[in-house]
């Protein structure tokens, strides 16, 4: 029984950590949404091709994450 108690305690600890990480992910997503809603902090008159590159870099990272989550692209089964 002692091993089962340790296993259950470990599972509960893992679940707590998992839920905490999901909460942190949601915080980061909200930050990114606010950043995008603010056009990355740039006024439309300020935008140059460098800003296009920066936005593209963010898009590539986010596409990699969503492709991984939904098993698309290089992550397809």
pLDDT digits (tens, 9 = 90+) for 37-69: 999 999 999 999 999 999 999 999 999 999 999
- The pair of three-digit structure tokens given for residue 45, joined into one six-digit string: 């008159």
Integer Cα distance of 38 and 51 in angstroms: 13
pLDDT at 1: 66
Of 56, 55, 50, nearest to 36 (Cα)? Answer: 55
Contact in structure between 71 and 65 (CB atoms under 8 Å) = no
Q: Model-level pTM?
A: 0.80
Q: For residues 63 and 73, give the distance between their C-alpha atoms in angstroms, rounded to a whole number.
A: 9
Task: List C-alpha distances in Å: 47 to 29, 50, 51, 53, 61.
Answer: 23, 8, 6, 11, 21
Residues 22-35: pLDDT tens digits?
Answer: 999 999 999 999 99
């Amino acid at each position: 029984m002692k091993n089962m108690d340790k296993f259950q305690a470990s599972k509960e600890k893992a679940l707590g950590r998992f839920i905490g990480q999901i909460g942190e992910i949601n915080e980061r997503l909200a930050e990114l949404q606010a950043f995008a809603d603010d056009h990355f902090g740039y006024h439309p008159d300020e935008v140059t091709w460098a800003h296009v590159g920066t936005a593209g870099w963010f898009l590539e990272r986010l596409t990699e994450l969503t492709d991984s989550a939904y098993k698309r692209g290089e992550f397809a089964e």
